[in-house]
Copies of this chain bind each other. A is one copy, B any other.
Amino acid sequence: MADIRILIYEDNPSLREALCFMLESTGGFVVTGAYEDCTAILPQVKEHQPDVLLMDIDMPHLTGIEAVKLIKPKFPRVNILMLTVFDDDERVFEAIKSGATGYLLKKTPPARILEALREIYEGGAPMSPSIARKVILNLHTAPVHVEEIARLTARELEILQCLSEGKSSKMIADTCFISVDTVRTHIKRIYEKLQVHSATEAIAKYNKR
């Protein structure tokens, strides 16, 4: 079987060298390039035709997440494995939504890194259970948001918009020329349809559409 072609983006020189050395001295991998930033990532990926991108999430000039957003649309087949120092769920999740396939902590033992690279090459998605859970939850809820919001009537949308602008029920009653009770009725229906129990929750869902 052909070697797995790896392209590395990591701004820390020591870690970059260490990764290169480790991969080159292990059978089954070939490091086609290793760079300190992503400024020229598009031509580089095009040139090296890597199977897997091993990419730091924190880099100068262009963050790993931004780089992922650049790469994925143009090279959808390339697998991207993110490297992070901290177990920052939010940013890792952001990276995955942008197109990364998996992630590892930098302190991960070398053997596990090699394993993850093979996993990702074979179609797996190395990640921690907490991230995995977020991904699942997102899959379940994300498409629903749109549907849920689509079920709102024009008036309900108008009032949800007002809520998201920070207006209270009274203020909405004023601007919409209806009574506070009517505003409350609309808000109740909005909560039902969006399956939430407070204005802030409704706004959060609305802003995720």
Contacts and interface: CB of A to CB of B under 8 A. Distances in A.
Nearest to A75: B175
A203 interface: yes
Contact of A205 (B73, B166, B174): B166
Contacts of A46: 177
Interface stretch (A92-100, A101-109, A194-202): A194-202
A204 B74 contact: no
A200 B171 CA distance: 12
A42 to B, nearest CB: 9
Contacts of A200: 163-164, 166-168, 199-200, 203
A100 B74 CA distance: 46
A116 to B, nearest CB: 28
A46 B174 CA distance: 13
A200 B163 CA distance: 7
Nearest to A76: B175
Contacts of A166: 196, 198, 200-205
A46 B178 CA distance: 13
Interface residues on A, range: 20 to 34
A202 B74 CA distance: 23
Contacts of A163: 200
Interface in A152-209: 163-168, 174-175, 177, 196, 198-205, 207
Contacts of A165: 204
A78 to B, nearest CB: 13
A74 B163 CA distance: 15
9 contacts: A46-B177, A73-B175, A74-B174, A164-B204, A166-B196, A166-B203, A168-B200, A203-B203, A207-B207
Given A73-B175, A74-B174, A166-B201, 18 more contacts: A74-B175, A164-B200, A164-B203, A164-B204, A164-B207, A165-B204, A166-B196, A166-B202, A166-B203, A166-B204, A168-B198, A168-B200, A199-B199, A199-B200, A200-B200, A200-B203, A203-B203, A207-B207
